Amino acid sequence: MADAEIAQGYPDGTYHPDEPVNRAQMAVFVARAVAGGDAAIPVPPEEPTFPDVPRFSTWGWCYPHVEYLAALTVGCDYPTYLYHVVEGYPDELYHPERICTRDQIVVYVSRAFERPTLRAPTPSPTRQCSRRF
């Protein structure tokens, strides 16, 4: 993963494999994997999608990655509903500090590579994909 520029570790040269992954780190991993490295991630917009991840802040290091994934729109099982690889919580924040649960990690990867995470037996016009991640 280091050769593919997906995981680069910490500035002190360590990796910390036993530490949990937060939403900021997960966005960086997934964005690098989808784009093909940091160099391929486009310049992010001036205005943040999520107010808790502005460019010039504690979370500025993940800003381009979060914005890149927030801009990617992919389809759901039902063609009338599109969603973004990353989306905020009901309070409209991204919460980069929160630890990713296993189910959230599956959603990040599934959305990034356009794999359905759940298939309903029959389409329903009221069915929507989760917007929580």
Per-residue pLDDT tens digits for 95-132:
999 999 988 988 888 888 875 544 443 443 444 444 44
pLDDT over 70 percentage in the chain: 73
Q: Are 86 and 80 in contact (CB under 8 A)?
A: no
Longest Cα–Cα distance in the chain: 51
What's the pTM value of the predicted model, to 2 decimals? 0.75
Distance of alpha carbon 99 from alpha carbon 90, whole angstroms: 17
What phi and psi values does residue 74 have, to the nearest 5 degrees?
-130, 165
pLDDT on residue 87 = 86
pLDDT score of 100: 93
pLDDT at 121: 39
